[in-house]
């Protein structure tokens, strides 16, 4: 499997080359401070007025590590919360090569044509390692990048998956308050990030391609069962028959799966993001499912569960960090781990000794 | 879906009726103290000598809530650890109705015929609610129950899933030290317990039945992708064609799945536990896979990961318990949860406030 970092397409894209954009919404500015210091009130008013420049700077505050920025971001989010929640949130995943960027561009432009306003966010845990963002890919979203009714933002860089996920989820709040009625959260589909994305969206869309052999080796187990819909891209030219065959295989595979919590069976559709065929049908399918989710109550239920999930997740992560990053613990952690691996102690008694030490030190 | 507690088969089975067993290994004695107080040394020697009565009493100590019992259990386990680890551990799951007990009886008796020694344990989180054990089912394992080369033990009752899982995993250590070379860990397949079982076995076997419609509604999502092998039970009489069809469907579905971490594709077989047909083939399939896992290194790797997983799991659970069960937290937890659900606070700021309170109180 080709890892994104080793993929030439993702290399050297941390500076903006090519597209002529207003410099202030340069998507690669996440590491810099906002140009101008607005007050919390100015930020909130700007966001609610749909000012993308101010929205972008507020997201930069969310992503900043500076405590004063975080404090300001926190206040802005709290003030925006009452205006948030009224969008449809899509999660979009698929292995590299499935054509995610082209698909997002195709779905996105069609949604805008239908009168929607779209924000595209991403969760890319690999950025932690590469210190670059996978949505360098963004340069390929040529139409969306310059579309005033769209807001495209690369994945926050650095930090734990939990941290990145928190930033993205908080950015959703601001985007919704700014009037975006559709949010795409993209993820690369090979790591741990799918659960995080799945836990912040209303519809989880898996993009596949025909010839489901080696291409799939990179995708994480469990993703298929997590999906609310599966779409086969590149159903064009000579590839149409293979795409239809793949769709049929996925359809019969899905029959073996238990019914999702939503109570609605996932559908499988073919399309071509390149040829722009079948794109409106994918959107219609998602819309129809969202309607069904709203009718049977699973939409509200899912959002409620997600909120509680994130609160608990955030607590758990903090408790773990406190334990594992306490300087006194490091040596003892290594020692107990060795004792477990050499069968001198059970995992449970090693844990007990570590906890005794933790609570008493 | 019919929940086990509402299933007549599981009712009223908490006292031993029917089978004539030596009273001392009465499987329903988990709540009582051991009859005789052995020393740690006597327990260890008894277990290593393969004395099932002493093994059974040691497991009772593991399951006891009394601190002095736990302390003794702890010492016994530590002393037995060097003699443990040399078995093949199967996880067995399937929805109620798939014929798990009959299958365990069939697989087990065949293994014993082949010269193996078998311990059957279980993880049943529902016992927390019902205060009864699902391996009341055990009365159906008529042959295994009276077989001297088998040790059948119902799920520990009460406590969290983490607690039940810990007890089962510690019991595995004692069973292995007592010379059982095959361990079955059964789970009911509708709850959260599959991940726990998956994390303590070398081979995870999913039992299904033909007509994969409504029967499957009760099984948890993700279980199929977790399986190392899928077997279709009740392939007998008029049902053979349907079973073969189901097997073919599972086979093509599995092709769409990514390769498991073990590097070996799961197989799908048909059998009939009732008619005892295809049973040896299932065992051969598991044996062959275990060989492949050992050859490609995934067997060792999985066990190592499992040990570290349980240590961390145990730490995480303890940290969470400490947080959520601190008496001062209760009111504030309810309050913050309400603020999140009414969109007054983000999950993250609610978590932050709770944590501030926790660390400073």
Average pLDDT of the segment spanning A312-325: 92
Q: In whole angstroms, what is the distance from residue A28 CA to residue A127 CA?
A: 13
Summarised one tens digit per residue, pLDDT across range A103-126 is: 999 999 999 999 999 999 988 765
Q: Where in chain B is the domain with CATH 1.10.287.130?
A: 305-360
Residue B72 has pLDDT above 80, yes or no: yes
Dist. CA A141–CA A361, nearest whole Å: 53
- pLDDT at position A253: 81
Is any Cβ of chain A less than 8 angstroms from the Cβ of B84?
yes
Interchain CB contact of B305 with A (< 8 Å): no
State the span(s) of chain B assigned CATH 3.40.50.300. Answer: 4-20+84-296
Whole-structure pTM value: 0.76
- Closest Cα in chain A, distance from residue B297 (Å): 16
Pick among B347, B352, B359 to test the A interface (most A CBs inside 10 A)? B347
pLDDT of residue A139: 56
What is the fold of B4-20+84-296?
Rossmann fold (3.40.50)
Give the tokens for residue B52: 């099932």
- What is the separation, in whole angstroms, between the first and last Cα of chain A? 45
Q: What is the pLDDT of residue B123?
A: 84
CA distances from residue B325 to A358, B145, B318, B333, B357 in whole angstroms, order as listed: 18, 40, 10, 10, 14
Beta strands in A129-236 (DSSP E): 150-152, 182-187, 203-209, 229-233
Fold of A306-360: Helix Hairpins (1.10.287)
pLDDT in tens, A4-51: 333 333 333 333 333 333 334 444 444 455 556 899 999 999 999 999
Q: Which residues in chain B are contacts of A252 at CB distance < 8 A? A: 249, 252-253
Under CATH, which architecture does the B305-360 domain have?
Answer: Orthogonal Bundle (1.10)
CA Rg value for chain A: 22
The pLDDT mean for chain B works out to 83
> Which residues in chain B are contacts of A346 at CB distance < 8 A?
77-78, 81, 169-170, 173
Q: Closest-CA residue in chain B for A355?
A: B315
Q: Which residues of B touch A81 (CB under 8 A)?
A: 343-346
pLDDT band at A191 (very low <50, low <70, confident <90, very high): low
For residues B193, B195, B197, B203, the Cα torsion angle rounded to the nearest 10 degrees is 140
Token pair for A157: 């860089």
B263 — contact with chain A (CB < 8 Å)? no
Q: Is A357 on the interface with B (CB under 8 A)?
A: no
**pLDDT tens digits along A257-276:** 778 889 999 999 999 999 99
Contacts of A215 in chain B (CB under 8 A): none
Taking CB atoms and an 8 Å limit, are B258 and A337 in contact across chains? no
CB atoms A320 and B319 under 8 Å: yes
- Chain A residue numbers with beta carbons less than 8 Å from the beta carbon of B346 are 77-78, 81, 169-170, 173
Residue A357: closest C-alpha in chain B: B315
Of B170, B226, B346, the CB nearest to A77: B346
Strands A229-233 and A267-270: parallel
Q: What is the pLDDT of residues A211-253, one digit of tens each?
A: 655 445 455 667 887 899 999 999 999 999 999 998 998 888 8
Q: Grade residue B36 by pLDDT with cuts at 50, 70 and 90.
A: low
Q: Identify the pLDDT of residue A36.
A: 65
* Residues of chain A found within 8 Å of residue B352, distances taken between Cβ atoms: 314
- Would you call B238 an interface residue with chain A, using a CB distance cutoff of 8 Å? no
Which residues, including other chains, have CB under 8 Å from residue A69's CB and lie 6 or more apart? A33, A61
3-state helix, strand, coil in chain A (%, to 5): 55, 10, 35
Q: CB–CB of B345 and A166 under 8 A?
A: no
pLDDT of residue B22: 38
User: pLDDT band at residue A132, thresholds of 50, 70 and 90?
Assistant: very low
Residue A245 burial (CB < 10 Å; 0-12/13-18/19+)?
middle
The angle at the Cα of B139, spanning B69 to B23, to the nearest 5 degrees, equals: 50
Are B349 and A78 in contact (CB < 8 Å)? yes
A-contacting residues of B 156-195, CB under 8 Å? 166, 169-170, 173
Name the phi and psi angles at A199, rounded to 5. Answer: -85, 10
Q: CB-CB: which of A315, A347, A352 is closest to B307? A: A347
Are B220 and A258 an interchain contact pair (Cβ–Cβ within 8 Å)? yes
Please answer whether residues A285 and B310 qualify as being in contact, where contact means their C-beta atoms are separated by less than 8 angstroms.
Answer: no
CB neighbour class for A12 (10 Å; exposed up to 12, middle 13-18, buried from 19): exposed
Half-sphere exposure of A39 (CA within 13 A, CB side): 3
Decide which of B107 and A209 is more confident: B107
Q: Which CATH superfamily is domain A4-18+85-298 in?
A: P-loop containing nucleotide triphosphate hydrolases (3.40.50.300)
Cα gap A252→A235, rounded to integer Å: 19
Query: Cα distance from A212 to chain B (closest Cα, Å)?
Result: 6
Please name the helix (run of DSSP H) or strand (run of DSSP E) that holds residue B89, with its range, or none.
strand B88-93
Burial B121-154 (b: 16+ CB within 10 A, else e): bbbbbbbbebebbbbbbbbbbeebbebebbbbbb
Structure tokens at A354: 């570590």
Contacts across the A-B interface (CB distance below 8 Å)? 177
ipTM above 0.95, yes or no: no
Residues 6 or more apart whose Cβ sits within 8 Å of residue B340: A307, A308, A311, B346, B347, B350
């Amino acid at each position: 499997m080709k890892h994104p970092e080793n993929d030439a397409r993702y290399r050297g894209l941390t500076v903006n080359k090519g597209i002529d954009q207003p410099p202030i919404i340069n998507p690669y500015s996440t590491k810099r401070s906002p140009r101008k210091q607005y007050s919390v009130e100015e930020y909130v008013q700007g966001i609610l007025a749909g000012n993308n420049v101010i929205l972008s700077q507020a997201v930069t505050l969310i992503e900043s590590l500076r405590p004063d920025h975080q404090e300001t971001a926190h206040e802005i989010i709290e003030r925006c919360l009452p205006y948030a929640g009224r969008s449809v949130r899509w999660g979009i995943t698929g292995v590299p090569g499935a054509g995610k960027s082209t698909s997002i561009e195709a779905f996105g432009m069609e949604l805008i044509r239908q009168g929607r306003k779209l924000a595209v966010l991403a969760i890319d845990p690999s950025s932690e390692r590469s210190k670059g963002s996978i949505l360098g890919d963004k340069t390929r979203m040529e139409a969306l990048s310059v579309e005033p009714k769209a807001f495209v933002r690369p994945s926050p860089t650095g930090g734990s998956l939990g941290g990145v996920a928190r930033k993205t989820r908080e950015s959703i709040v601001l985007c919704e308050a700014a009037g975006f009625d559709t949010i795409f959260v993209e993820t690369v589909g090979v790591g741990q990030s799918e659960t995080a994305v799945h836990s912040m969206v209303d519809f989880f869309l898996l993009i596949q391609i025909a010839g489901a052999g080696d291409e799939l080796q990179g995708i994480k187990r469990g993703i298929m069962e997590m999906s609310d819909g599966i779409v086969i891209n590149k159903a064009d030219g000579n590839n149409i028959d293979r795409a239809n065959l793949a769709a049929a295989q996925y359809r019969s595979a899905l029959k073996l799966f238990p019914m999702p919590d939503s109570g609605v069976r996932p559908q499988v559709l073919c399309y071509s993001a390149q040829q722009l065929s079948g794109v409106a049908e994918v959107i219609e399918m998602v819309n129809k499912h969202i309607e069904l989710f709203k009718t049977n109550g699973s939409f509200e239920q899912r959002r409620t569960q997600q909120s509680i999930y994130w609160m608990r997740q955030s607590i758990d992560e903090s408790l773990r960090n406190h334990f594992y990053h306490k300087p006194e613990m490091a040596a003892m952690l290594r020692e107990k781990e060795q004792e477990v691996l050499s069968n001198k102690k059970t995992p449970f008694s090693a844990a007990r000794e570590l906890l005794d030490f933790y609570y008493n030190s």
